[in-house]
Amino acid sequence: MRVGVVGATGYAGTEVLRLCASHPDLEVVVATGESNAGRRVAEHVVALGALYPSLVFAPTQAVFDADLDVVFLALPHGESQKLVPRLMAGGVQVVDLGADFRLKDPADYETWYGAAHLAPQLLDLSVYGLVERHRDELVGASLIAAPGCYPTASALALGPLLDAELIERTGVVVNALSGVSGAGRAPSDRLHFARMTGNAEAYGLLRHRHTPEIEQEIGAQLLFTPHLVPASRGMLVTAYGRATSRSLSTADALGVLRERYAHDPCIVVIDEPPTLKDPVGSNLCLVSARVDARTGWVVAMSSLDNLIKGAAGQAIQAWNVATGRGETTGLPMSGVTP
């Protein structure tokens, strides 16, 4: 399949390039990056030099001029919706790693992103690309909205427990830690090494834009607090919900997770709390849970690589399912240790 990657110079776009090179059915023929147009991929990202020794970044228009089967969009919010209608009108399948087609209600998009949606007619057509919760809907999808990294980690930890009505649907609390690559490639004072190293920072308090996405996916009221930590990659979520029964045990919660994910190759349910580092380098998500009988709280935990299972790997996983391929084709299935 002939592939275009728009926004290929950012961290998520670069990861799409890397993973496509390992996929037997994906051939990248166009990689765009406006500020780097005319520059070789191997110059911009030396780590990709052996995979793409001669590929040159092109302007965005190149995806409309080339004969492509699928385009992966790795753009800031607000940009994909300018391109998707034209791509789809040309019969191109689209996998959007951005936020533009995740929220089903255009009013929610305007509330949380501060602008009216430019292609609301496509929101019902888009399929949320969290394979473990939307596998059947993804089959044959022409527009895939790949979830954000925080919503992925949160929904995979909390979703089965809410589905089984083990925790209440109000007052759910999610605390999440992310490596700084989740903030994107653009430099800023906040991400400066001297400020970030040895530091940790909560941000987006009460109004983080992933809040409505998580609420939409798990069907619960949420208080979400993300944090940046001094790591390049990785994400660790610790979520809390009130148990619906005082007789609920940790064994019950873990049993629900194990049953729910028994046939999901990218989810590993573990007894011990997951760490931020263990899934880094893979398309895996590690999940676990605890029930505190003393306080009546359930603790749901997960960890993943924010650029793979939280972005590029998940996008390819969803595309695999949409096109009838093996779900894990081309995806790394083990973390990097140590």
Contact, 308 vs 283, CB < 8 A?
A: yes
Contact, 207 vs 236, CB < 8 A?
A: no
DSSP state of 135: H
Secondary structure of 140-178 in HEC code, one letter for each residue: CCCEEECCCHHHHHHHHHHHHHHHCCCECCCCEEEEEEE
- Judging by beta carbons within 10 Å of its beta carbon (0-12, 13-18, 19+), is residue 170 exposed, middle or buried? exposed
User: How is residue 334 written in tokens?
Assistant: 């083990």
User: How is residue 147 written in tokens?
Assistant: 């979830």
Distance in angstroms (rounded) separating the CA atoms of residues 282 and 261:
17
149 is annotated as an active-site residue:
yes
CB atoms within 10 A of CB 293: 12
Distance in angstroms (rounded) separating the CA atoms of residues 175 and 178:
10
Q: What phi, psi does 268 have (nearest 5°)? A: -120, 115
Which H helix or E strand runs over 226? strand 222-229
Contact, 317 vs 323, CB < 8 A?
A: no
- In the chain, count H helices and then E strands: 11, 13
Distance in angstroms (rounded) separating the CA atoms of residues 136 and 156:
17
Which position among 20, 149, 266, 285 bears the catalytic label?
Answer: 149
**Which residues are catalytic, by number?**
149
